[in-house]
Amino acid sequence: MIRYTALRLLIFVGCFLVAGVAVHYGVIPAGLGGSNTVWVILLGLVLSAPLSYVLLRKQRDEMSEQIVSTVDRTKARLDANRTREDAVQ
């Protein structure tokens, strides 16, 4: 999970830098008044979201499998404990 988060953060930082350079050189219009930083952050978020979705699909699927297996083991333990309690009564 930490690796996924770190990769996602790196993708955002890369997109933020690309958006900042594009705004600086006039490829993308700058924000109104003093909102240029907020504009670049929003552009970075908008660019990084689909990239993260596509590029990190494998890591997201692996993390999902780990979570599902953990939930299944927990359910099995709870069922075993419930069965044991029923047997005692």
The pLDDT value given to residue 86 = 63
- Taking only the tens place, the pLDDT of each residue in 23-46 is 989 898 887 777 788 999 999 999
pLDDT for position 81: 85
Phi-psi category of 26—alpha, beta or left, where left has phi over 0 and alpha has psi -120 to 50?
left
Average pLDDT in the 38-64 region? Answer: 92
For residues 16 and 44, is the Cβ–Cβ distance under 8 A? yes
Q: What is the pLDDT of residue 52?
A: 93
What average pLDDT does the segment 12-31 reach? 91
